[in-house]
Structure 1
C-alpha cells in the first residue's frame, strides 16, 4: 500500500512523539568545538577536522538517528538495498554503537524527502560512507544520551551504562532513550572523532545475522517495486524505437484507443506509450500500437565480428595515469606482450525494470529501484521543467541491478506518463526485450600489456594500455533518461566523460597493486559510444584485473615459476600478501594434482587499490567435445577491514564469483548494423543452475577496529582472472578474448 502524500523530512521528524529537532540547541552535552563565546571574544578558531564517511555532507546527528518519545529508533541512510545486504549491516552498526537490541531499530533507506543525500549506491561505498557515518552518529548520540542522564541523575557519565535503550545508574535508577530526547538534544553537528566501542566488546557487529530482505524474496511476499499495487493504480507500457537512431514517422493510434481497457495513448515526439486498466490490456495495446508505428531507421552500429578493431579505431583522449621509473629504457631480457578483449555486457536483470509514478498538480512522486534517488529526482525534474523540490523519488527494491540498468529510465517513463494521466498511480513495467535492447551496457574494452623479465625471473618493466568508453552515464541531468531523449522537446544525452582516479572508470584497477621498478599505464578514453553504455558492477576493474591476472600467469609460466609464488614476489602490501596466502592455503594450491580436462587458476586484486582485498583460487573442468568450461570449485580470501555481518559479506563474494564467472564464460551483447539482437535469454545466455560450482568457500580476514573497506565488487576481477587462468591450465592454450565460450575453447583445443 502506498501513500502519495508528499512529506518532507522536517514534517516527519516533527511528528507525534518524535522529539529530536531543536533549532536553538547550539551546543549539546558531550559535544566539543568552538563556542559562540569563542567567536565573539576573537579567540583563534582552527578549521574543523574532516568528518568521517558521509557525515561530511550531512553533519547533523539527527540526519542519521531519530529517537521517538516512546523509545522507537529509526536509522536513516541515503544508500539503497539492491541485494548487497546493507539493510542488515547498517542496522548492526547502529545497534552496536547505540547499545540497543537489533530488533529495536527501523531503517529508512533512500528517499529524497526523508534521508541524507548520499548520491549513488555504487562503487562498494555503502559501508565505507554510510556505515561509517551511522557508526559515528550512533556512538556520539549514545554519549550525548549518557551525558544527559548523568545531568538528570546527578552522576558522572562514567558511572552510567547504556544498555537496551536505557541509561542505567549503579543504584538501579534508569532513564529510557525516549525520556532523554525530550529536550531535543540530537539536532547537533557531528564531531570528527567518536567514542567508538572497542571491537573486543562487540555483541552485534562481527556477528552473523540473517538478512532482513531475504524472507520476502523466498516466500513470494511482496519484495520489489514490481510487486507494488497501490489503490487505483493503472498500467502503462512504452513502445520503444526499434533501434538507437530510429525516428517515428507516423502512428495510427485509433484502433489502440478503442481497444478494451485502454485509457490513453501518450505520444511526445519519439516517445510512445499506452495506459490501460489492467496489465494484460496494456501489453496487448502496446503490441497493437507497435504494429501501427512506422519508423525510419539508420545503420550506425559497428561490425560485431570486428569489434576490437572498431574500438581501437575510435578517436581517443589519452592520459598517462602511471609513470614509474623509466619504463621505455629497459633493454635485453625476455619480453612478452598480449592483447585482451571484452565485449559489451548486459546487466541481465532477472526482473525487467519497473517504476510507479503519481502526478498531482505540480508535484510528482516516483517509486523506483534506481541506485541514486537524488540524481534521478534531479533528472526527472529537469525533464518535466519542475523545481527539484516538486519531485520526490522513493527507493523500492528491484529484482536485478548492480549498476545503471533500466531502472532510472523506467522512472523517467513513469513520471512522463503520469503527468499525462494525473492523480492516479501509473505503473510502468518494461518488457524483457526492452530491458535487453535499451539498458546501458558495460562497455566493450581492449587492453594491451607488455613486460620485460630480468635474469632473476622478476618483472622489471610493465606497460598497460586500456581503451574504453566512459563507465557512467547515470542521471543527474535530464539527458541521461531515454524518455527525455525521445521527447519532442528533446534533451540530448550529456557528453561522456572519464571518471577521475583514484577510483576511475575504464582505468579502474589498471594500475596494478604489484610493484615493478619501471611501469607505465595509459588510459585511452573513447568519447564516441557506438552502443549505449554506463555503469556495470566493478566498471573497468573487471577487464583490467582479468588482463593483469592473465598476464601475470603468462609471465610466471615464461620463467617457470609457480603463479602464486610469482605474485607474492611482486607484492609488498602485507595485507595483500596475507590474502593471497590464505586463498592458496585453503585451496591446497601446492598439492593440486592436474587431471585431464581439469585446471587450476589464481586471481588477485585490491578493488580500486583502496577497497577490499580479494584472492581467488579456482578449479575448472573443460568438456573437450563441446569446449564448454565449468567452474567446479572456488576458494576466496577477503580482507574488507572490520567485519560487520560475516554472512552478508560471504553472500556478496559468492554472488560476485558467480556473476563474474557468467560474464567470463557466457555473456556477450550481440547486434547487427542497426539493431541489438541479444534481446532474450536465448540470445544472451547467462549461467544456469546446472553450471553453478560444486562448492564456493569464502574465508574472511577480520581486521578489528580498521575502517570498513567496500567489498561488493571486490571479487569481480579476481574471479575472471582465476577462471581464465584455470581454463588455460586445463587446455594448455591461452584465450585472451572474452567470453571464453565453448566454441572458442573448442577451437583453441584443436
Structure 2
C-alpha cells in the first residue's frame, strides 16, 4: 500500500530541503542540499525560490521574472547536448524583449518544472519551445497592460528594450519594478500573438553555449562530476548474462577489504558500498571473481537472427494497405525486390551511466541523467510503493545519451542502495563492461522491399515489410523496466511495451507513388532493446533509400533527377536541389577510385527535411574504402540558433557514419561479447570524414526538431556511394569493406 500524500506544507518543505536547485549551466557549487550533519551550501542564484510546479497552463510554469532583474525559463526537457537550453532561452528572450544575458534556465526537475514526458523524438523545440514562446508572449502582453494602466495609455503604444517598458511620453519602468517581486499569475490564454519573425533580435543568432565551454575546459558539468557532503560510493555487479542467477558469493571476504562499508545482496542483485570510489571498484573486481552463477545459453545467435525474425513473428500489423498492390508490382515494366538488415546497435555512452540518490525520512531525491524525470519518478514510486510526492528527480546532463541508455537503470539502482543508508548520498557509476553489456540496445531489424515502375522512371507501386523488436521499454511507471528490479527477490515482472509506431517510423515512402503498402511484424528477440536515436527511422531510411538507388540504377536514371521527379513537396525538392548545387553534383569528378551516393528523407514524414551526399575513396589493393566527405542540407523551418542546428546535424551525420560502417553488438550463447571499445569499435577522429552542412532557414514557418534527421539518409548515402564506386551492393549493415565483392571490380 502506498504512503499517504504529503500535505502542501510538507511537500514545500521537502522541495526546499531534499535535493539541490539545478539552475543554468552551472553544476557546482551545489545550490543546496540539507541533510542532518551536512553543511548547507548557497545556491548560485539565491533570489530564485524553489516553487513546485502546479499546472502546465500557468504562465509561471514556464516563465519567471525574478526580483533581482533576471528572467528564468523553466522546461521539463532535459539537456542532452543538443543545445536545448540556449535555444529555449533565445525563444523566451525574444518574446519578452530581454537580453539573453539576463536569462537563465531551470530544466528537468520534478520539483519545479512542467511534466513534458520524455526528451525524445526531436520534439523539444516543437513542444517546449512552443509552450515557452506562448507563455512569454502572454507575460509580455500582461506586463504592457499593467504599465499602460499605470500611465493611462494603450498597451500597443508602448515599446520594450531589454525588459524596460517605455511610453511615447518618455515614462520608463522595468518588468521587475512593475511586478514588485510578485509572479505573473494566471493561465496562458492564447490571447497574446507571438512576435513577427521580421522583428527578431535573438532568434536566428548563433549565441554561444556555456555548457560547451565547460566541457572544453574540463569543468564540472555532468552527473559524473556531482559531489555531495558525506557521499558514499557504490558499484553494482550485474550478472554475466541475461538469464544468469546468483548461485553463491563469499561476501565476508569482500567486506573485509579496506574502506568497504557493506555488500548488498538481494536475490541476484549485488552491490558494494565504500568510502571511496576506487575502493568500490576494487571490491567490484573481487566480487566478480568470487561470485558463481547459474547460466542459460542464448538460443538465437547472430547468424540465425534474420531467419528467426521472418519465421517467428506471426501475423503482421497492417500499417497501410493497398488493394491489389502485389499484382501491380508484378505487372510493372520494371520491378525489383531486395532485403536489408540492421544489427543491434548500442548507445555506447562515453561516460558509463551514473546517478546519485539520497533517502531521508521516507523522502527520496535522485539526481539523474534520465530523459524523463516525471516517468522516472513514477517508476521509482512503483518500485518502492512510495507516493510520488515523496520523490524528487533532478535532471543532470549525462556523458552520452541518444535515447534510453543505462541512465534510468543506474538511477533505480542508486535509489535501491541509498535506501540502505538513510541520510547518506550514494553515488553509483556503472563499470564500462556493465554499460556495454546491460544497456538496452537499438533493436535489430529486417526489411523486404518490393516495387514496380514504368519505363520512364515513374514509381507505380511499393510494398515494405518490416521485422522489428520493441523500440521503447523506457521506465514509465512500471518498476520492471529497471533491469535490476528483475534480479531482486522476489523479482519484479517485466512486460515489454509495443510502441510499434517506432518500428515503422519513416517506413512509408514520401515519394509520389499511387499504391503503397506497409506490413509490420513484431518480433521478440534475444537481446534487451529500447529507444535509440531515430528509432526505426534509421533502418527504414537506410533500406528505402538504398532500394530506391537500386531502382534508379535499374532504370538508368540520375539520382537527383529521379528524386525530383517523384517528389511533390516543394520543400523536399528544394533540399535535394540545394544539395546538388552545394555539392557540385553535376561537375563532380568521377574516377575508378571514388564513388558518390545520395539519400534523402523527411524525418517522421512530418518534421525536418534532410538530403546528403557521401563521397568514398576506394583502395582496391588494400581492399578498403574511406569515407572522405559528407555534404548535408537541412530544412528545419525557423532556425533558432544556426550553430546549434549545424552542431546537431553534424553530430548526427558522424554518429550515423560510425553506426553504418563499423558498429554492431556481437554476442554468442554465453552473452554479450562487445564489452569494451576494442570489441565494439566506434569511428575515431582520424577516420572521421569532412562534414559540410548547409541550412535552409524558413523564418515564416515553425521550427522543427532536427537531432535525428540525418541518421538514416547518411547510412543509405554511404551504401550508395560504395555501390557507385565498386558495383557491389551491401544490404546488411554495417558496411564493412570485407562485404564488398572486390574480385568483381574492374
TM-score of the superposed pair, with normalisation by structure 1: 0.91
1:704 to 699, 703, 707: 699
Matched, 1:510 2:507: yes
The 8 Å contact of residues 138 and 190 in structure 2, kept in 1 or not, is answered as: no
Matched, 1:657 2:658: no
The 8 Å contact of residues 377 and 393 in structure 1, kept in 2 or not, is answered as: yes
- The aligned residue for residue 377 of structure 2 is 377
- The aligned residue for residue 9 of structure 2 is none
Q: May I ask how many residue pairs the two structures share in their alignment?
A: 706
- Shift of residue 197 of structure 1? 1.2
Structure 1 residues 585-594 or 647-656, which shifts more? 585-594
Distance 2:735 2:194 in 1: 48
Aligned runs of 1:60-459 on 2, under 5 Å?
60-182=58-180, 184=182, 186-192=184-190, 194-324=192-322, 326-330=324-328, 331-459=331-459
The 8 Å contact of residues 19 and 181 in structure 1, kept in 2 or not, is answered as: no
The 8 Å contact of residues 595 and 724 in structure 2, kept in 1 or not, is answered as: yes
The 8 Å contact of residues 620 and 742 in structure 2, kept in 1 or not, is answered as: no
- Shift of residue 184 of structure 1? 4.2
1:524 to 509, 521, 526: 521
Matched, 1:4 2:33: yes
- The aligned residue for residue 32 of structure 1 is none
The 8 Å contact of residues 21 and 186 in structure 1, kept in 2 or not, is answered as: no
The 8 Å contact of residues 657 and 719 in structure 1, kept in 2 or not, is answered as: yes
- Shift of residue 22 of structure 1? 14
Distance 1:300 1:22 in 2: 47
Matched, 1:570 2:566: yes
For 1:266-289, what per-residue CA distance to the aligned partner results, in whole angstroms no more than 9, with x for missing partners? Answer: 111111000001111000001111
- The aligned residue for residue 3 of structure 2 is none
Provide the secondary structure at the position in 2 that maps to 1:614: strand
Distance 1:21 1:432 in 2: 38
Distance 2:663 2:46 in 1: 53
Provide the secondary structure at the position in 2 that maps to 1:329: helix
- Shift of residue 110 of structure 1? 0.3
- The aligned residue for residue 601 of structure 2 is 605
The 1:365/1:701 distance shift into structure 2, 3 A limit, reads same
Matched, 1:720 2:715: yes
For 1:21-62, what per-residue CA distance to the aligned partner results, in whole angstroms no more than 9, with x for missing partners? Answer: 999xxxxxxxxxxxxxxxxxxxxxxxxxxxxxxx9x811111
Provide the secondary structure at the position in 1 that maps to 2:740: helix
- Shift of residue 16 of structure 1? 8.9
Distance 2:250 2:657 in 1: 46
The 1:566/1:62 distance shift into structure 2, 3 A limit, reads same
The 1:492/1:519 distance shift into structure 2, 3 A limit, reads same
Structure 2, unaligned runs of 5 or more: 1-28, 36-41
The 1:19/1:530 distance shift into structure 2, 3 A limit, reads closer
2:618 to 614, 618, 622: 622
Matched, 1:488 2:489: yes
Matched, 1:735 2:730: yes
The 8 Å contact of residues 325 and 517 in structure 1, kept in 2 or not, is answered as: no
The 8 Å contact of residues 52 and 112 in structure 2, kept in 1 or not, is answered as: no
Distance 2:311 2:169 in 1: 79
The 8 Å contact of residues 51 and 112 in structure 2, kept in 1 or not, is answered as: no
Distance 1:492 1:622 in 2: 51
Provide the secondary structure at the position in 2 that maps to 1:213: helix
The 1:437/1:626 distance shift into structure 2, 3 A limit, reads farther
- Shift of residue 195 of structure 1? 1.6
Distance 2:240 2:724 in 1: 43
- Shift of residue 324 of structure 1? 4.3
The 8 Å contact of residues 20 and 185 in structure 1, kept in 2 or not, is answered as: no
The 1:749/1:282 distance shift into structure 2, 3 A limit, reads farther
The 1:148/1:231 distance shift into structure 2, 3 A limit, reads same
- The aligned residue for residue 535 of structure 2 is 539
Distance 1:749 1:667 in 2: 26
The 8 Å contact of residues 355 and 410 in structure 1, kept in 2 or not, is answered as: yes
- Shift of residue 101 of structure 1? 0.4
1:553 to 535, 549, 556: 549
2:629 to 627, 633, 651: 633
- Shift of residue 626 of structure 1? 4.2
Distance 1:22 1:77 in 2: 13
Structure 1 residues 565-574 or 166-175, which shifts more? 166-175
- Shift of residue 193 of structure 1? 5.3
- Shift of residue 307 of structure 1? 2.0
Distance 1:654 1:737 in 2: 24
For 1:225-251, what per-residue CA distance to the aligned partner results, in whole angstroms no more than 9, with x for missing partners? Answer: 111111211110000000000011111
- Shift of residue 318 of structure 1? 1.4
The 1:20/1:179 distance shift into structure 2, 3 A limit, reads farther
The 8 Å contact of residues 627 and 741 in structure 1, kept in 2 or not, is answered as: no
The 8 Å contact of residues 51 and 111 in structure 2, kept in 1 or not, is answered as: no
The 8 Å contact of residues 666 and 686 in structure 1, kept in 2 or not, is answered as: yes
- The aligned residue for residue 466 of structure 2 is 466
Distance 1:62 1:335 in 2: 59
Provide the secondary structure at the position in 2 that maps to 1:420: coil
Distance 1:438 1:259 in 2: 27
TM-score of the superposed pair, with normalisation by structure 2: 0.92
The 8 Å contact of residues 20 and 187 in structure 1, kept in 2 or not, is answered as: no
For 1:420-471, what per-residue CA distance to the aligned partner results, in whole angstroms no more than 9, with x for missing partners? Answer: 1221111101111000000000000000001112132211111111100110
- Shift of residue 388 of structure 1? 1.2
For 1:621-654, what per-residue CA distance to the aligned partner results, in whole angstroms no more than 9, with x for missing partners? Answer: 1332444332211111111111100000000000
The 1:20/1:520 distance shift into structure 2, 3 A limit, reads same
- Shift of residue 620 of structure 1? 1.1
For 1:691-734, what per-residue CA distance to the aligned partner results, in whole angstroms no more than 9, with x for missing partners? Answer: 111x2111111111311111110000111111111111111111
Distance 2:190 2:622 in 1: 60
Distance 1:475 1:165 in 2: 41
- Shift of residue 71 of structure 1? 2.4
